[in-house]
Structure 1
Amino acid sequence: MVNQLTSLVRRQAAKYGNREVFSHKDYSTNRWVSTSWNRFAEQVSDMAKAMVILGIREEENISTYTQNKPEGLIVDFAAFDNRAVTVPLYPTSSLDQIKYIIDEAEIRFLFVGGQVQYDNAIIALRECPTLEKLILFDPDIKRAESDSSSVYFEDLIAMGKSADEKVCEEVERRRNAGSPDDLATLIYTSGTTGEPKGVMLAHSNYDEAMRIHLQRLVTCSDKDVSLCFLPLTHVFERAWSYYCLTVGMRIAINVDPKDIQNTIREIRPTIMCSVPRFWEKVYSAIQDNLSKMKGIARRLAERAFVIGRRRNVEYLRAGKRVPLWLECQYRFYDKFVFSKIRRAVGVENGNIFPTAGAPLSDTINEFLHICGINIVYGYGLSETTATVSCFDLVGYEFGTVGSLMPDIQVKLGENNEILVKGKTVMKGYYRKPEETARVFTEDGWFRTGDAGKVNEQGALVLTERLKDLFKTSNGKYIAPQALETRLGEDKYIDQVAVIGDQRKYVTAIIIPAYEALKEYAAQKQIQYRNLEELVKNQKIQALISERIEALQKNFARFEQIKRFTLLPQAFSMEKGELTNTLKIRRSVINLLYKDEIEAMYA
């Protein structure tokens, strides 16, 4: 039996032929380059044969270290043809991070995206005992003088194209020898605590993920255009991209993460996966524009949100027929308010916008739905091949992460920990039997590390991340994510790390939204020479204090932030403060800002 992902590209090429499968922007010409299904299938076939010639073995781990590029997908499916296992590395990973994974997974062949990745990879080539060869995606990569073993991707494709019959037969043999139990990928967790762990996902996990998503996402079709924005290293975007290919929808690959705002306006996608951080920024920008409105325009917008909530939240969400009088009003306000908002963001053609990976504020979630932006909020982990639950088309509830996916089981364990069972749950952590044993119950349920409950309607509610939960010296438990998510709604607050473990009260390290602060400073004629001076200004401190007080008023007194510190620079992946998926690393922040934290408790 040939695995679904292994046969996918050939099946779809036979169906779609010269129709576009994906496109990407060539920044040297500033144009979008299209690839057809036939071309994709040909490239996968050539690369699969080249892998045999290179000496890649069945069930061997090979790795990609690249930003989102078409070549990454070609390598994935060529690896599946060979029963090889792909190990994606984040393009932003440091030398130490990639060396750890290369050593543990015993990588011999590393596919490299661009110059930044190459500069790390060439050092790893010298220092990692197993690493033998780099394959370079970008022909413009400048190789080190000492580098005599690296090969360019296009040269490898040419090698596969001229392969002899014996090589072709070997690829065919491997392909047919595939089993659902074969590993497809090792997805390394970003490691908010401790060292990263390789999540072993088999072909059977992905096959099941495809099946249940086809069953749940009934509005998706081959007419959709999905913008590939999150790193393909992340299980969310990776599994979603495989789903897009399964459905036959076109994928626009965003090569440069910093260019996403331009890309989304150029592509105007019907679908895009994202983390809440993206929509928080969209919400802040919309709120900022609304705050500047005056007179008739402001009253028009305010009335639009009343009508939008009534139609989209009270009727459509509940599956009720919208009264004609309400529909007529909505169409008016949609034309003059909501459509302009969606067009400004680039999502006016929207079908669904899957969002997961961190908590999303109910206020922001509801606001986007009011505007006609269909956020499909969900919950999942690398260990569950992404989605455990997500919003349904109708009946979804704010304050939840949606209903369970078909045939996924959930129950609550100790401390209300969410336990999951189903065919999408991983085999375990690579070469970490003790860690694997720790996250499974004796009867085979996976421990997520998240606490929650299932409400009366069957929707999953997250309450806290158990690892993040801390206790003040007064014995009160604090769930920091709830407070961080609430504060993240504010236009003047960009990032928050709540502090308070074994302390008398709760404090926070806050990264303000610098552009909004500068604008406020200009309005109030606040003089400053640099950001450090601006964040220490008493009027700025008073502004943030007022905003925090208003935002946290519904939290219990012991949960509320008593003091805060504003930083003049944002948290970053480079300094280790953020994971590759933009989650904060609390242990690193506690260490780096030890002096600032101690000062708040002086």
Structure 2
Amino acid sequence: MTYHHLSVLVHRQAEKYGDRVALKYRDYDKGQWIPVTWNQFSETVQIAANAMVEMGIAEQENIGVFSQNKPECLYTDFAAFANRAVTIPLYATSSPSQAQYIVNDAGIRFLFVGEQFQYDAAFTVLPLCASLERLIIFDRAVVKDKQDTTSIYFDEFLKMGEAKQHAAVVEERSSKASFDDLANILYTSGTTGEPKGVMIHHSCYKEQMRTHDIRLVTMTDQDVSMNFLPLTHIFEKTWAYYCIHKGVLTCINLRPNDIQMTIKEIRPTLMCNVPRFWEKVYDGVQEVINQSTGLKKSLMLDAIKVGKVHNVDYLRVGKTPPLMNQLKYKFYDKTIYSVLRKTIGIENGNFFPTAGAAISNEINEFLHSVGVNIVVGYGLTESTATVSCLTMTDYTIGSVGKIMPDLEVKIGENNEILLRGKSISKGYYKKAEANKTAFTEDGWFRTGDAGYIKDGELYLTERIKDLFKTSNGKYIAPQALETKLVVDRFIEQVAIIANQRKYVSALIVPNYEHVIAYAKEKGIEYSSLQELLQNSKIIELFKSRIDTLQQQFAHYEQVKYFALLPEPFSMEKGELTNTLKMKRNIIENNYKEVIDKMYEA
């Protein structure tokens, strides 16, 4: 198969697909999805590439994109690649100080911004960024600051290239484009310390396209992908580029909170996601089951049991299910499973890649049982996403799948997973010391994750940096316990506390809706959420549920005390990264008094 360089990929696909729809985005004013054909996509990229030359953008120059998911993000990316320039995405939720750090570190002159929030944050730091010359605003509704004399809107930017007066320059640059060129610098938000810019070369993307073609054999140009995760994230960025390479229709979800509406409007066959999305699906189903009685409840429980036998116990390992099981499965597939999938908006599902955090075995098994083909995987920004992923059949629940073709993986000291191959980043931008630490002398990248390989499948055990050691000398892997506890419908977020402590405790953010409903059902009176969460009956409810969930853990690994928090962990308080990973040091600092109280006993 031909692997076109990203500098020309959209144009080659336009030659192949013409007026077929390549992208869709939701126009909120009209309440409808606007199609963009491959020809229109190609034309816009060409105009934007000319506008970049007009603006003075040079080859291998760093360009910033600070926006939520919009088609303009892709236009900007591919126009930059046509000019052999490098794009640097910033998370749409980044604070002014985070934006300032990245702009200064990468020496960005031109920053493309999405909506009002991003514009305001960028304009605030404009005087603090020596390199920054101009903001280009995607959304026409953004109100510019009265002092702003340099920013332009994206439509004004496109007018600068409408005549394609620099077509020869763009063509010459594209012809020189090499797979050895730098494509992106992706700044990892980091659970500790300052962000590091991961350099992703065009060769990394080419290798991922090649190996995914080998692994994802059911994916075709008839598929429809919902772009939900931020395009700033390596998982979604690599996936978006891969969808373009495959000729897949990509539907861009602008507002993450609207996914339950937009997924039903699009009803995609593909969608990348993180486990939290599926945890909420699982919680919803459990809630329906818990509220049901009699025959309805029995049928739902039997449907899950039948699905497990059919899909997990038999088909997963290449065996034919017993005839009676097949008949029952067909019945449930037309009734219970199909209603569930249609309710979510995924009844047309092909498969759904899932990564970014650990997913519990229970949820993984449940989804496969009801015919939702999630493809669990593992990867990092530094590996250009996928290191391993489940195959469609012959996979093991509990693993993160088979290692991608031609990628070298070995287990080093402290069971650390080490990587080497064409999809692995060449290092961090302008961070020589970090690179020395991150790579071995013979070129293996240290992931910081511990695990093991069995029968060609990769298993994760813990994050080495997050491994806690109690004051009794026992090691605790907090993620294993957190993943187990967050399955419970009453638990929204969990932070395990144990490092240098005499026993394990936990900060728990409850699912407030469920707790309030439980209080109403049990006639528990309260005047505030804080008071409700300190009620002995609520504490006993959580204690019994936690004790049940943690039975499989050794006694020293189990939560002894916990505190129920009246507000969730948030990015605003610095407790979560842009990818919603916990910053444990910030959480421990913010809740120091609460934590200390749990160790007074």
Q: Report the TM range for the smaller structure's normalisation.
A: over 0.9
Q: Give the aligned partner of residue 148 of structure 1.
A: 149
Q: Distance in 2 between matches of 1:163 and 1:169?
A: 9
The amino acid across from 1:10 in the alignment is H
State yes or no: 1:180 paired with 2:174. no
> Aligned partners of 1:233, 1:225: CA distance in 2, in Å?
21
1:358 equivalenced with 2:357 (yes/no): yes
* 1:206 paired to 2:215: no
Distance in 2 separating the partners of 1:148 and 1:205: 39
Deviations 1:316-350 (A, max 9, x none): 11112334432221111112211111111111111
Separation in 2, partners of 1:331, 1:19: 35
Structure 1: runs of 5+ lacking an equivalent: none
Q: Partner amino acid for 1:96?
A: S
Equivalent-residue separation in structure 1 for 2:164 and 2:339 (angstroms): 54
CA contact (8 A) 1:2 1:178 kept: no
2:364 and 2:452 mapped to 1: Cα distance? 20
Work out the CA distance in 2 between the residues paired with 1:344 and 1:3.
Answer: 39
Moved more, 528-537 or 503-512: 528-537
CA contact (8 A) 1:124 1:131 kept: no
Are the aligned partners of 2:309 and 2:321 in contact in 1 as well (CA < 8 Å)?
no
CA-to-aligned-CA distance 1:109-156 (integer Å, 9 cap, x gap)? 000000011111111212111100000000110000000100110111
Q: What is the correspondence of 1:112-191 to structure 2 with a 5 Å cutoff?
A: 112-164=113-165, 167-191=166-190
3-state DSSP of counterpart to 2:8: helix
Find the residue that maps to 2:533 and give its secondary structure. Answer: helix
Q: % of aligned pairs identical?
A: 55
What does residue 495 of structure 2 align with?
A: 497
The whole-number CA distance in structure 1 between the counterparts of 2:91 and 2:508 is 26
CA contact (8 A) 1:531 1:568 kept: yes
Following TM superposition, the consecutive aligned residue runs of length 4 or more in structure 1 with deviations greater than 3 angstroms are 322-325
1:395-414 equivalent positions in 2, closer than 5 A? 395-414=394-413
Q: Which residue of 2 aligns with 1:473?
A: 471
2:536 is aligned with 1:538: yes
SS of the residue aligned with 1:516?
A: helix
The separation in 2 between residues aligned to 1:37 and 1:532, in whole angstroms, is 54
Q: Is the contact made by 1:2 and 1:175 (CA closer than 8 Å) also made in structure 2?
A: no
Contact 1:3-1:203 at 8 Å conserved across structures: no
Matches of 1:413 and 1:532, distance apart in 2: 47
Partner Cα separation in structure 2 for residue 432 and residue 523 of structure 1 = 57
Deviation at 1:244, TM superposition (A): 0.5
Q: 2:103 aligns to what?
A: 102
Structure-to-structure mapping, 1:441-590, within 5 angstroms: 441-455=440-454, 457-590=455-588
1:26-37 aligned within 5 A: 26-37=27-38
Does the aligned pair in 2 maintain the 1:273–1:354 contact within 8 Å?
yes
Amino acid at match of 1:294: T
Question: Do the aligned partners of 1:505 and 1:562 also contact (CA within 8 Å) in 2?
Answer: yes
Name the aligned partner's letter for residue 426 of structure 1.
Answer: S
Whole-angstrom CA distance in 2 between matches of 1:578 and 1:334: 39
Q: Is the 8 A contact 1:3 1:180 kept in 2?
A: no
Structure 2 residue identity aligned to 1:433: A
For the aligned residue pairs, the C-alpha RMSD in angstroms reads 1.1
For residues 64-105 of structure 1, the C-alpha deviation after alignment (integer angstroms, 9 at most, x for no partner) is 000000000000000000000000000000011010000000
TM-score (norm 2): 0.99
User: For 1:335 and 1:268, how far apart are their aligned partners in 2?
Assistant: 18
Q: Distance in 2 between matches of 1:65 and 1:387?
A: 24
| Amino acid paired to 1:190 | S
Tell me the equivalent position of 1:367. Answer: 366
- Displacement, 1:570? 0.7
Deviation, 1:41, is 0.1
Q: Partner letter of residue 352 of structure 2?
A: F
Alignment partner, residue 45 of structure 2:
44
Report the 3-state secondary structure (helix = DSSP H, G, I; strand = E; otherwise coil) of the residue aligned with 1:215.
Answer: helix
CA displacement, residues 473-520 of structure 1 (integer Å, 9 cap, x when unaligned) = 000000000000000110000000000110100000000011111111
Distance 1:327 1:104 in 2: 59
Q: Any conservation in 2 of the 1:227–1:272 contact (CA below 8 Å)?
A: yes
Specify the SS of the correspondent of 2:517.
helix
2:5·2:178 contact (CA, 8 Å) conserved in 1? no
Residues 163 and 224 (structure 1 numbering): CA distance in 2 closer, same or farther, change over 3 Å?
closer
> Which amino acid is the alignment partner of residue 51 of structure 1?
M
- 2:285 and 2:403 map into 1 onto residues whose CA distance is 32
Within 1, Cα distance between the matches of 2:89 and 2:598?
A: 41
Alignment of 1:21-420 (within 5 A): 21-164=22-165, 167-420=166-419
Shift of residue 3 of structure 1?
Answer: 5.6
- The letter for the 2-side match of 1:422 is G
C-alpha displacement at 1:2, in angstroms?
9.7
d(CA) in 2 for partners of 1:543, 1:96 = 42
SS of residue matched to 1:428: coil
- SS of match in other structure, 1:252: strand
Corresponding residue SS for 1:274: coil
Q: 3-state DSSP class of the match of 2:492?
A: strand
**Structure 1 residues 28-55: Cα deviation after superposition (integer angstroms, max 9, x where no partner):** 1111111000000000000000000001
> Which secondary structure does the structure 2 equivalent of 1:6 belong to?
coil
Residue 277 of structure 1 aligns to a residue in which SS? helix
CA–CA distance in structure 2, aligned partners of residues 234 and 522 of structure 1: 41
AA of the residue aligned to 2:136: I
- Is the aligned partner of 1:426 residue 2:464? no
Asked whether the 8 Å contact 2:204–2:424 carries over to 1, the reply is yes
1:471/1:500 contact within 8 Å kept: yes
CA contact (8 A) 2:221 2:249 kept: yes
> Equivalent residue of 2:92, what SS?
coil
Once the two structures are superposed, what CA deviation does each residue of 1:244-291 show, in whole Å capped at 9, x if it has no partner?
Answer: 011111011000011011111111111110011111111111100111
**Residue of structure 2 equivalent to 1:5:** 6
Find the aligned partners of 1:299 and 1:543 in 2 and give their Cα distance: 25
2:518 alignment partner, SS class: helix
| SS class of match (1:193) | coil
Q: How many pairs were matched up?
A: 599
SS in 1 for 2:7: helix
Residue 10 (structure 2) pairs with residue 19 (structure 1): no
Find the residue that maps to 2:259 and give its secondary structure: helix
AA of the residue aligned to 2:392: L
Distance in 2 between residues matched to 1:324 and 1:562, nearest whole Å? 48
8 Å CA contact 1:134, 1:151 repeated in 2: yes
